[in-house]
């Protein structure tokens, strides 16, 4: 494997809350190769969004704080950069797409300004040229008649169109890495596929890598090269997408798959929900975070925290019984 | 937009009608009417005539609704606000002479008020809970609590005691001596501006804090913008919308404050005119001033509503 574009090592991010310190991200490590799409999957509260925000140091401090770890991007540790250094990365080398297209665009500024802004900022391009580029970008994300739409405002757009604007904004400086935090969750089902296909196509065109944060395993199957499953602030399994589908090696991943309807498989197969509640990060059990909900739990799981075991070629699983699960 | 403005202006008519009736009737109901006053002041002409003749000469012998009709009719048809009961000078001329002075004072006060309130409010929000924030917030509470007439009086008294300096007293008009005029207006304008700034500052701070928590601010950070651009370009515009409303609501306060400041700093504006007129029960002047003030407040609020369109693209006037 060639050198990774992004290499996250032992990242821990905590939040101070009224109920004590919460480790939203606990000792998380993963790599993203150039041009690769990594999906981070998990329930809400699993720490996937916090991981994404930590990479660009967008965690609101206070109450949040990146406690420890390294985030190596092109060999540079983003956590060691000064404010100016990280600002030069944001929006230029690494861009972000957020979940809520309704509230993530500024209601008082024109679409043209918002899309052209990163170009004006990072490329030191004069506004007239930046707006030309913005019109071009709007065309790329299939917003017809981009030039005449530069002066329009977000409220004049539908949700899907706004997310296209967000994508245009993210692509403005041809970033090496795009972090898409649940880019389609807030959209109509019919629009979701369009947006993801567009995102995939455009990242392929510019050979950008992508981190796709989602709770939707269906999305993962189609668009990701590799998957990291997060639970309780930790990565519990990571594998190439196909392999994860074929041979999930963690009970949580299995549970997730059993609970998602699949149109391509056996439609008679009953859906099996994962019993219990997502873990409370403020009071995680000492052992495996999934232990309270796991069907195959043993005494060891409750006491000892499982590390990530090598469970196949570039396949890691944080389950003591990952080998047994392979069967 | 034009249709909207015209409709808003038409809507002023009933409001003005009710306001004028209330003003017209209530000033005449203040105990101790103008006739009593004239008779008690050993006015020679008045003494000769006696109450009934005096009432007839001044036009108070007819029912009040006829007096009102005449008054309104003269304003609408001839632009005639009537004559002063004491000096027999045309009220309209006096109003026209005084209006620009009060207008200037109000505008300057508003300017200083915003100049103080918005930068401090923004700073206070961006550096929330810092030392500067606490100082700014305490200052704004102080400005709310301390009446501007007290500050005005202090400014008149203490500098003259300590340094033998006092604000210039001889009024010069702006057209005659712009600098002299401004140097005279600036002290009351700043004092008035301070008292106006208190609420505006608080609201600016609150709104900025609210806006800075929004998702689109995170988007702005994620683009790599520096703090200045995030605050000034992305946050401030959104935060100012309610602030503008507050400015409109404070317009009557501004005019009321101007009346007091004019009295303290001897500025011959509408305030001073009104004060004299009230003590002399000079009804045409009182009603005239109130009418102008009423129109001013309504026009300011119309301008405020129109300015939403500049700040908030979602607002469209139909």
Distance CA B299, CA A49 (A): 50
CA distances B105 to B194, B196, B198, B261, B311, Å, are: 13, 13, 18, 9, 26
Tens of pLDDT, residues A274-309: 777 777 777 777 888 888 888 888 888 888 888 888
Distance to chain A for B223, nearest Cα, Å = 4
Q: What is the mean pLDDT of residues B244-266?
A: 85
pLDDT at A179 over 90: yes
pLDDT for residue B121: 92
Q: Looking at the domain assignment, is residue B57 inside a domain?
A: no
Sign for the pseudo-dihedral over CA of B50, B51, B53, B54: positive
> What are the boundaries of each domain within chain A?
6-34+44-87+219-326
A121/B contact by beta carbon, under 8 A = yes
The pLDDT-based confidence of B19 (bands split at 50, 70, 90) is confident
Q: What is the mean pLDDT of residues A83-109?
A: 89
Tens of pLDDT, residues A26-59: 889 998 988 889 999 988 878 888 999 999 998 8
pLDDT at A1 over 60: no
Which chain B residue has the Cα nearest residue A89? Answer: B224
* Domain with B162 in it: 99-311
Distance to chain A for B86, nearest Cα, Å = 56
Distance to chain B for A288, nearest Cα, Å = 34
pLDDT for residue A40: 92
Select the residue of A104, A108, A155 nearest B215 (Cβ to Cβ). Answer: A104
Peptide bond into A63 cis (omega under 30): yes
Tell me the angle at which helices B178-212 and B251-264 cross, rounded to the nearest 10 degrees. 150
The pLDDT-based confidence of A263 (bands split at 50, 70, 90) is low
The pLDDT-based confidence of B42 (bands split at 50, 70, 90) is low
% of residues, chain A, pLDDT over 90: 9
Counting Cβ atoms within 10 Å, is residue A81 exposed (0-12), middle (13-18) or buried (19+)? middle
Closest by Cα among A39, A12, A6 to A232: A12
Q: Looking at the domain assignment, is residue B120 inside a domain?
A: yes
Q: Is A12 helix (H, G, I), strand (E, B) or coil?
A: strand
% of residues, chain B, pLDDT over 90: 14
**Which of A6-20, A83-97, B109-123, B166-180 bottoms out in mean pLDDT, i.e. has the lowest?**
B166-180
Distance CA A28, CA A47 (A): 10
pLDDT at A2 over 70: no
Q: What is the mean pLDDT of residues B134-155?
A: 87
CA distances A273 to A216, A220, A276, A277, Å, are: 14, 19, 9, 11
pLDDT for residue B271: 83
Q: What's the structural domain count of chain B? A: 1
Q: Looking at the domain assignment, is residue B191 inside a domain?
A: yes
Q: What phi and psi, each to the nearest 5 degrees, are found at residue A41? A: -115, 145
Contacts of A96 in chain B (CB under 8 A): 219, 222
Which position has the higher pLDDT, B208 or B305? Answer: B208
The pLDDT-based confidence of A266 (bands split at 50, 70, 90) is low
The H or E element containing residue B280 is helix B270-280
A104/B contact by beta carbon, under 8 A = yes
A98/B contact by beta carbon, under 8 A = yes
The answer to whether the CB atoms of B224 and A88 lie below 8 A apart is yes
Q: What is the mean pLDDT of residues A212-216?
A: 86
pLDDT for residue A199: 85
Contacts of A89 in chain B (CB under 8 A): 224
Report the Cα A314 to chain-centroid distance in Å.
Answer: 20
Contacts of B224 in chain A (CB under 8 A): 87-92, 118, 121-122
Q: Looking at the domain assignment, is residue B116 inside a domain?
A: yes
Tens of pLDDT, residues A187-213: 777 778 888 888 888 888 888 899 999
Return the CATH number at B135: 1.10.3720.10
The pLDDT-based confidence of B134 (bands split at 50, 70, 90) is very high
pLDDT for residue B44: 66
Q: How many CB pairs under 8 A join A and B?
A: 71
The pLDDT-based confidence of A265 (bands split at 50, 70, 90) is low
pLDDT for residue B209: 92
The fold adopted by the segment(s) A6-34+44-87+219-326 is Rossmann fold (3.40.50)
The answer to whether the CB atoms of B216 and A122 lie below 8 A apart is no
Q: What is the mean pLDDT of residues A161-177?
A: 88
């Amino acid at each position: 494997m060639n050198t990774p574009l992004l290499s996250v090592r032992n990242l821990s991010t905590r939040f101070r809350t009224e109920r004590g310190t919460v480790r939203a991200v606990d000792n998380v490590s993963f790599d993203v190769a150039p041009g690769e799409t990594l999906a981070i999957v998990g329930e809400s509260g699993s720490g996937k969004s916090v991981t994404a925000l930590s990479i660009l140091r967008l965690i609101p401090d206070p109450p949040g704080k990146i406690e420890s770890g390294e985030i190596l991007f092109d060999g540079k540790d983003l956590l060691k950069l000064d404010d100016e250094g990280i600002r030069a990365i944001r929006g230029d080398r690494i861009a972000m797409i957020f979940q809520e297209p309704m509230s993530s665009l500024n209601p008082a500024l024109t679409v043209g300004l918002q899309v052209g802004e990163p170009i004006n900022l990072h490329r030191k391009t004069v506004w007239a040229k930046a707006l030309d580029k913005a019109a071009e970008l709007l065309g790329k994300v299939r917003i017809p008649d981009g030039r005449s739409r530069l002066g329009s405002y977000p409220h004049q757009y539908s949700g899907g169109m706004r997310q296209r604007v967000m994508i245009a904004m993210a692509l403005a400086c041809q970033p090496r890495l795009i972090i898409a935090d649940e880019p389609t969750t807030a959209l109509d089902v019919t629009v979701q596929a369009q947006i993801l296909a567009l995102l995939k196509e455009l990242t392929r065109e510019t050979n950008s890598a992508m981190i796709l944060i989602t709770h939707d395993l269906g999305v993962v199957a189609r668009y990701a090269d590799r998957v990291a499953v997060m639970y309780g602030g930790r990565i519990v399994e990571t594998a190439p997408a196909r392999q994860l589908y074929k041979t999930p090696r963690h009970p949580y991943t299995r549970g997730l798959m059993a609970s998602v309807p699949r149109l391509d498989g056996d439609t008679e197969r009953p859906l099996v929900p994962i019993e219990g509640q997502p873990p409370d990060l403020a009071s995680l059990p000492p052992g495996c975070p999934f232990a309270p909900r796991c069907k195959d739990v043993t005494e060891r799981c409750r006491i000892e925290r499982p590390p990530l075991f090598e469970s196949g070629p570039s396949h890691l699983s944080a389950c003591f019984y990952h080998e047994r699960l392979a069967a | 937009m034009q249709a909207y403005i015209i409709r808003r202006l038409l809507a002023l008519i009933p409001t003005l009608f009710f306001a004028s009736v209330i003003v017209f009737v209530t000033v005449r109901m203040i105990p101790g009417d103008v006739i009593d006053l004239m008779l008690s002041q050993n006015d020679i002409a008045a003494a000769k005539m006696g109450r009934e003749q005096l009432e007839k000469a001044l036009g108070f012998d007819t029912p009040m609704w006829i007096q009102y009709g005449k008054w309104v009719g003269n304003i609408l048809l001839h632009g005639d606000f009537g004559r002063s009961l004491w000096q027999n000078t045309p009220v309209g001329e006096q109003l026209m002479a005084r209006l620009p002075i009060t207008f200037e004072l109000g505008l300057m006060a508003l300017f200083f008020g915003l100049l103080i309130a918005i930068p401090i409010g923004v700073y206070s929000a961006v550096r929330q809970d810092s030392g500067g924030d606490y100082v700014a917030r305490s200052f704004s509470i102080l400005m709310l609590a301390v009446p501007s007439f007290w500050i005005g009086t202090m400014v008149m008294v203490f500098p003259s005691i300590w340094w033998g300096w006092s604000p210039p007293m001889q009024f010069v008009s702006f057209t005659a001596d712009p600098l002299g005029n401004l140097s005279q207006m600036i002290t009351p304008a700043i004092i008035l501006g301070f008292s106006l700034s208190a609420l505006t500052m608080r609201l600016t701070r609150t709104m900025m804090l609210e806006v800075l928590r929004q998702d689109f601010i995170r988007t702005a950070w994620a683009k790599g913008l520096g703090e200045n651009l995030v605050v000034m370009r992305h946050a401030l515009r959104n935060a100012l919308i309610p602030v503008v409303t507050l400015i409109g609501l404070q317009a009557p306060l501004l005019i009321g404050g101007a009346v007091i400041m004019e009295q303290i700093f001897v500025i011959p504006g509408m305030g001073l005119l009104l004060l004299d007129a009230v003590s002399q029960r000079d009804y045409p002047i009182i009603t005239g001033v109130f009418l102008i003030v009423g129109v001013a407040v309504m026009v300011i609020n119309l301008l405020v509503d129109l300015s939403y369109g500049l700040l908030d693209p979602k607002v469209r006037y139909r």
